[in-house]
């Protein structure tokens, strides 16, 4: 089927990654990567939080729901948290969330937790490039699209049920007292 | 739909930062895109937003267009957030109605595709616009600052910083791990390039520290715990026992002369083990404080550090009425309150055993540079005579540069001082012994006032410079002239030949390393380290003595290798920064604290999460209560609250959600007409 006016060719798909970086280590490391003029893939969009402990699992789910193909969380190395132990709190939540995501069919590579200290600009570059490459291979997650598909499926199913129930009379169940099999002595 | 909320009027500014941003991001395009987003009243691009005209532009627009939110897309908020907050405040808006987008460090500097970088800048700006619409006015709390300062480390950096602050009338606690202040500089013989005697220029400053009424000097002590925040630190210091009462000891040293050990028997740390000392000793003649100490590991009155009372205690007899010696002295922990902290913990010389090919420990006549400093010193173990460990006097001496520096196998960095101190030692060794001197170098690095001239002077003195990294030091003789000598095997890279040079003494110019416990110290003060382990400054150019923790400053070699002039300059800078902080009298606290919302159900999930015990529980209302003075604003409790009943100023849930939405909304945006405010 030929469209009358060819729209400009859409650019090839690349993943969209939302990152939550802690102010003290990973955000600073990303700044260092910039100051050092390291070059990395433009697929990551960073949200600055004070601590990785502030990352509510709902933020991650929200990002996926809104169409992110992956979520990256960056915090200070264990033992180095600016707030003593916020990163450990994140680590625990992350473990639980990964199990839940696996049950939902979202592969673990899509949500990644990395410890990157303020001195590790190189690591920011390496992690972002690596994650972009992995997600490129995995392809789009497209939860919004899936939601639409599922909604359509449900609507379709509801419509089918409606038409079928119109054809057949509604099944009825009447209660009968159970037959007594063994007489009490 | 009728909204009672006041109209959102956002002003958006995108900064070119000269070419820094404009070369990779189409700033005019970003401004045009953001200009049609809902709530945006005006969008401009400007060459330098942080300049005075840039800031005035914001202020003018606030008045003229009735802006009630300001978003600037420029560099990192860690760099200029406070600049723009101040500009917005000067324009009459609450400073927290400002939001910053990082399109330099996070976009223009790290991407190579202009279209992709511009698209990313647009997306980041769009998210910030959505978030800014939800920004709340916040009050800024003032916290008083304690005027005391803690200086950690009593080397030249700590001494200089402490004296500067004390002269300005501030009370300083100077904590030193060793028994005396002075650090490495006290061990040096002369200083390059002027050949000033190190002790002559250092000891007056040490005495000044000891005598200054504003300085409390605690040597033989360690900082064990640091709590609190900028302006109000509570520091616990462990004072290890020296078994001598500091107040009562007069420094007469009669006890040392009367020790049951008639001769010094134990390796003397100050002389790098080249000399001997007694169990009761003073580190060096000019030690500050002038107080002796007893080494419980070797004193006869102890057995492996435990008091046994089996010595005749001739030292106590010698001390007599002064009664300064106290074998029952116990470790004490003291608590002090300070407003600022200067960390000047210095460096550790590279452990030369890590390069076994140079034969340290195998051949007795291989020395480290620091050992040679003591060897050439008039108050050193040989009174300045160059007498080798085997009793000989050298006629040829090799100095090997870059041992533990500029080497991928050990440390990659240049230690900056080794070239210069090697040349200084070459000069001193030649002066003291008349021997032939050979320097083996990779490059001569003499960048400093009078340094290159010093190198010229050495060349004129007839010191040999051979360019090449030494392969090995060996005692294996190939020809009779090499018998009984140490042979340097080296490729002379200027002549293009491999040479064997027989010498009597080898000096290893050891590099500078972070202390072995640098990581522990870093955690104590909540600082960061670079990959090599030196403490990380807040900004390499513009905040070289500040750290990421407000109120904690660094000075000297703990931040990276440097010479004495640079260390002193840095110590002065750290003192000035600390002074600027505490003289203000108060600080403005970032209002990013957590707060409990009215619908808290009292489940107490948050209580154990707070590392600062800022969350309490009100039994009357059956709700959690957050003490905002204790809260540091990490937001861990906010994320953990199962009912979403804790908020965090500046990082409210709805703000983060709107930012997520803004990042991911599909391009292009819906037309502005849809969301236009009435």
Is A79 near chain B, with CB under 8 Å?
Answer: yes
Average pLDDT, rounded, for chain B: 93
Q: Do A46 and B651 touch (CB under 8 A)?
A: no
Q: Assess whether pLDDT exceeds 80 at residue B541.
A: yes
String of b and e for B57-74 (b: at least 16 CB within 10 Å)?
bbbebbeeeebbbbbbbb
Q: Do A49 and B104 touch (CB under 8 A)?
A: no
Give dist(CA B672, CA B649) in Å, integer.
29
Is A86 near chain B, with CB under 8 Å?
Answer: yes
Q: Which residue of B has its CA nearest to A51?
A: B634
Give dist(CA B400, CA B441) in Å, integer.
7
Q: Which residue of A has its CA nearest to B76?
A: A31
Q: Do A38 and B636 touch (CB under 8 A)?
A: no
Q: Do B664 and A63 touch (CB under 8 A)?
A: yes
Q: Is B496 left (phi over 0), alpha (psi -120 to 50) or beta?
A: left
Assign a CATH topology to domain A17-141.
Rossmann fold (3.40.50)
Q: Do B636 and A66 touch (CB under 8 A)?
A: no
Give dist(CA B46, CA B86) in Å, integer.
18
Calculate how close chain A gets to B649, using CA atoms only, in Å.
11
Is A18 near chain B, with CB under 8 Å?
Answer: yes
Q: Do B528 and A118 touch (CB under 8 A)?
A: yes
- Out of B531, B635, B660, name the one closest to residue A18 (CB): B660
Helix (H) or strand (E) holding A101: helix A86-103
Strand segments, DSSP code E, in B32-185 are 40-46, 69-74, 98-102, 141-144, 149-152, 172-175
Collapsing DSSP to helix, strand or coil, B568 comes out as helix
Q: Do B638 and A45 touch (CB under 8 A)?
A: no
Alpha-carbon separation of residue B674 from A57, A65, A86, B660 (angstroms): 32, 23, 41, 21
Mean pLDDT of B351-360: 96
Q: Which residue of B has its CA nearest to A68?
A: B664
Pick from A34, A48, A123 the residue to mutate for testing the B interface (most B CBs within 10 Å): A34
Residue A181 binned pLDDT confidence (cut-offs 50, 70, 90): low
pLDDT digits (tens, 9 = 90+) for B609-660: 998 889 999 999 999 999 888 888 999 999 999 999 999 999 999 999 999 9
- Out of A30, A56, A118, name the one closest to residue B106 (CB): A30
Pick from B546, B634, B661 the residue to mutate for testing the A interface (most A CBs within 10 Å): B634
- Whether the upstream peptide bond of residue B408 has omega within 30° of 0, thus cis, is no
Calculate how close chain B gets to A157, using CA atoms only, in Å.
29
How many CB pairs (< 8 A) connect A and B? 147
Q: Do B656 and A59 touch (CB under 8 A)?
A: yes
Q: Do B78 and A66 touch (CB under 8 A)?
A: no
Q: Do A117 and B635 touch (CB under 8 A)?
A: no
String of b and e for B461-475 (b: at least 16 CB within 10 Å)?
eebbbbbbbbeebbe
| pLDDT of B675 | 35
Residue B337: both structure tokens together: 């309150």
Q: Which residue of B has its CA nearest to A71?
A: B660
String of b and e for B216-255 (b: at least 16 CB within 10 Å)?
bbbbbbbbeebebbbbbbebebbbbbbbbebeebeeebeb
| pLDDT of B463 | 97
Residue B220: both structure tokens together: 């033989």
Is the four-CA dihedral B529, B535, B538, B540 of positive or negative sign?
A: negative
Give dist(CA B38, CA B130) in Å, integer.
9
Q: How far is CA B643 from the centre of its chain?
A: 42
> How far apart are the two ends of chain B, measured CA to CA in Å?
10
- Out of A46, A53, A62, name the one closest to residue B106 (CB): A46
What are the residue ranges spanned by the domains of chain A? 17-141, 145-181
- Out of B116, B548, B664, name the one closest to residue A42 (CB): B116
| pLDDT of A82 | 87
Which residue intervals of B171-236 are DSSP H helices? 198-211
Residue B414: both structure tokens together: 């240049």
pLDDT digits (tens, 9 = 90+) for B43-71: 999 999 999 999 999 999 999 999 999 99
Beta strands B149-152 and B172-175 are parallel
String of b and e for A112-144 (b: at least 16 CB within 10 Å)?
bbbbbbbbbbebbbbbbbebbeebbeeeebebe
pLDDT digits (tens, 9 = 90+) for B415-428: 999 999 999 999 99
Calculate how close chain B gets to A176, using CA atoms only, in Å.
47
**Which residue shows structure tokens 């001598």?**
B244
Q: Do A34 and B106 touch (CB under 8 A)?
A: yes
Mean pLDDT of B473-492: 95
Mean pLDDT of B384-389: 93
pLDDT digits (tens, 9 = 90+) for B7-39: 899 999 999 999 999 999 999 999 999 999 999
Contact A74, A120 (CB under 8 A): no
Residue B98: both structure tokens together: 């400002």
- Out of B77, B523, B634, name the one closest to residue A86 (CB): B634
| pLDDT of B668 | 43
| pLDDT of B70 | 97
If one counts every other C-beta atom within 10 angstroms of the C-beta of residue B311, the result is 17
| pLDDT of A183 | 62
| pLDDT of B304 | 80
Q: Do A42 and B523 touch (CB under 8 A)?
A: no
As a whole-number percent, the residues of chain B with pLDDT over 70 amount to 97
ipTM: 0.85
- Out of A23, A33, A119, name the one closest to residue B536 (CB): A119
| pLDDT of A117 | 92
Nearest to B120, CA basis, from B104, B134, B133:
B104
Alpha-carbon separation of residue B369 from B189, B423, B431 (angstroms): 11, 11, 16
- Out of A18, A31, A47, name the one closest to residue B78 (CB): A31
* Residue B484 exposure: Cα atoms within 13 Å on the Cβ side: 7
pLDDT digits (tens, 9 = 90+) for A34-63: 999 999 999 999 999 999 999 999 999 999
Lowest mean pLDDT: which of B93-102, B417-426, B604-613?
A: B604-613
Is A129 near chain B, with CB under 8 Å?
Answer: no
Q: Do B76 and A34 touch (CB under 8 A)?
A: yes
* Residue B389 exposure: Cα atoms within 13 Å on the Cβ side: 17
Is A92 near chain B, with CB under 8 Å?
Answer: no
Residue B397 binned pLDDT confidence (cut-offs 50, 70, 90): very high
Lowest mean pLDDT: which of B232-236, B414-418, B529-533?
A: B529-533
Q: Assess whether pLDDT exceeds 50 at residue B472.
A: yes
Q: Do A54 and B635 touch (CB under 8 A)?
A: yes
Q: Assess whether pLDDT exceeds 70 at residue B677.
A: no
Q: Do A42 and B660 touch (CB under 8 A)?
A: no
Residues contacting residue A59 through CB under 8 Å, at least 6 positions apart? A20, A47, B656, B657, B660
**Which pTM does this prediction carry?**
0.82
| pLDDT of A79 | 82
Beta bridge partners of B490: B470, B499
Q: Assess whether pLDDT exceeds 90 at residue B149.
A: yes
pLDDT digits (tens, 9 = 90+) for B251-282: 999 999 999 999 999 999 999 999 999 999 99
Mean pLDDT of A1-25: 77
Q: Do B110 and A119 touch (CB under 8 A)?
A: no
Give dist(CA B271, CA B166) in Å, integer.
31
* Residue A109 exposure: Cα atoms within 13 Å on the Cβ side: 15
Give dist(CA B416, CA B561) in Å, integer.
6
Give dist(CA B54, CA B309) in Å, integer.
76
If one counts every other C-beta atom within 10 angstroms of the C-beta of residue B517, the result is 13
């Amino acid at each position: 089927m030929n469209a009358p006016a060819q729209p400009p060719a859409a650019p090839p798909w690349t993943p969209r990654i939302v990152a939550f970086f802690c102010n003290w280590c990973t955000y600073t490391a990303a700044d260092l990567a910039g100051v050092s003029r390291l070059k990395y893939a433009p697929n990551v969009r960073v949200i600055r939080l004070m601590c990785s402990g502030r990352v509510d699992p709902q933020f991650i789910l929200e990002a996926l729901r809104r169409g992110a193909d992956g979520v990256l969380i960056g915090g200070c190395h264990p033992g180095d948290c600016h707030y003593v132990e916020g990163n450990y709190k994140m680590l625990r939540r992350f473990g639980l969330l990964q199990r839940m995501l696996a049950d939902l069919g979202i592969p673990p590579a899509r949500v990644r937790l990395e410890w990157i200290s303020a001195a590790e600009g190189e690591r920011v570059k390496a992690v972002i490039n690596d994650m972009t490459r992995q997600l490129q291979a995995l392809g789009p997650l497209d939860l919004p699209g899936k939601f639409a598909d599922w909604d359509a499926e449900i609507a379709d199913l509801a419509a089918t049920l409606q038409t079928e129930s119109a054809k057949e009379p509604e099944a009825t169940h009447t209660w009968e007292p159970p037959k007594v099999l063994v007489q009490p002595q | 739909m009728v909204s009672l909320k006041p109209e959102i009027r956002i002003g958006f500014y995108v900064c070119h930062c000269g070419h820094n941003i404009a070369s990779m991001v189409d700033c005019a395009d970003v401004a045009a895109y953001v200009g049609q987003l809902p709530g945006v009243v005006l969008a401009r691009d400007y060459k330098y937003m942080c300049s005075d005209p840039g800031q005035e532009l914001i202020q003018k627009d606030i008045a003229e267009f009735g802006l009630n939110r300001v978003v600037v897309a420029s560099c990192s908020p860690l760099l200029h957030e406070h600049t723009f907050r101040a500009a917005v405040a000067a324009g009459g808006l609450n400073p927290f109605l400002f939001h910053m987008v990082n399109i330099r460090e996070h976009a223009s500097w790290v991407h190579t595709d202009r279209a992709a970088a511009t698209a990313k800048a647009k997306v980041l700006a769009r998210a910030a616009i959505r978030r800014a619409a939800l920004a709340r006015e916040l009050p800024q709390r003032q916290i008083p600052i304690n005027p005391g300062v803690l200086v950690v480390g009593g080397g030249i950096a700590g001494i200089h910083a402490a004296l500067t602050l004390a002269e300005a009338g501030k009370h300083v606690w100077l904590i030193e791990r060793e028994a005396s202040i002075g650090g490495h500089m006290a061990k040096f013989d002369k200083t390059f390039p002027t050949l000033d005697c190190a002790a002559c220029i250092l000891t007056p400053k040490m005495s000044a520290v000891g005598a200054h009424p504003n300085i409390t000097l605690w040597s033989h002590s360690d900082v064990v715990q640091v709590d609190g925040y900028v302006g109000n630190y509570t520091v616990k210091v462990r004072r290890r026992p020296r078994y001598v009462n500091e107040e009562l000891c007069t420094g007469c040293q009669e006890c040392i002369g009367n020790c049951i050990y008639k001769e010094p028997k134990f390796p003397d740390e100050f002389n790098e083990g080249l000399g001997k000392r007694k169990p009761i000793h003073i580190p060096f003649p000019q030690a500050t404080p002038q107080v002796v100490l007893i080494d419980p590991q070797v004193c006869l009155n102890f057995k492996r550090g435990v008091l046994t009372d089996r010595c005749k205690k001739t030292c106590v007899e010698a001390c007599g009425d002064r009664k300064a010696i106290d074998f029952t002295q116990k470790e004490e922990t003291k608590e002090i309150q300070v407003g600022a902290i200067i960390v000047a913990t210095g460096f550790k010389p590279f452990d030369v055993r890590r390069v076994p090919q140079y034969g340290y420990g195998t051949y007795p006549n291989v020395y480290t540079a620091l050992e040679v400093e003591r060897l050439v010193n008039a108050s050193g173990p040989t009174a300045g005579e160059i007498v080798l460990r085997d009793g000989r006097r050298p006629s040829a001496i090799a100095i090997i540069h870059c041992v533990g520096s500029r080497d991928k196998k050990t440390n990659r960095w240049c230690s900056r001082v080794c070239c210069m101190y090697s040349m200084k030692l070459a000069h001193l060794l030649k002066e003291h012994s008349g021997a032939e001197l050979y320097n083996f170098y990779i490059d001569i690095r003499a960048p400093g006032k009078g340094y290159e001239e010093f190198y010229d002077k050495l060349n004129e003195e007839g010191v040999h410079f051979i360019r090449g990294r030494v392969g090995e030091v060996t005692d294996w003789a190939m020809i009779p002239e090499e018998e009984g000598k140490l042979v340097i095997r080296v490729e002379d890279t200027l002549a293009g030949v491999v040479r064997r040079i027989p010498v009597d003494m080898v000096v290893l110019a050891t590099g500078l390393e972070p202390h072995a416990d640098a990581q522990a110290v870093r955690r104590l003060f909540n600082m960061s380290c670079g990959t090599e382990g030196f403490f990380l400054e807040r900004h390499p150019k513009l905040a070289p003595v500040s750290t990421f923790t407000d109120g904690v400053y660094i000075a000297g070699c703990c931040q990276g290798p440097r010479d004495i002039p640079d260390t002193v300059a840095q110590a002065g800078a750290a003192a000035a920064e600390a002074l600027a902080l505490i003289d203000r009298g108060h600080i403005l606290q970032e209002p990013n604290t957590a707060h409990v919302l009215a619908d808290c159900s009292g489940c107490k999930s948050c209580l154990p999460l707070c590392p600062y015990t800022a969350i309490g529980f009100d039994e009357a209302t059956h709700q959690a209560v957050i003490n905002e003075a204790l809260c540091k604003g990490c937001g861990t409790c906010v994320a953990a609250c199962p009912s979403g009943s804790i908020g965090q100023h500046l990082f409210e849930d709805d703000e983060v959600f709107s930012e997520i939405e803004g990042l991911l909304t599909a391009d292009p945006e819906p037309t502005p007409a849809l969301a236009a405010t009435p």
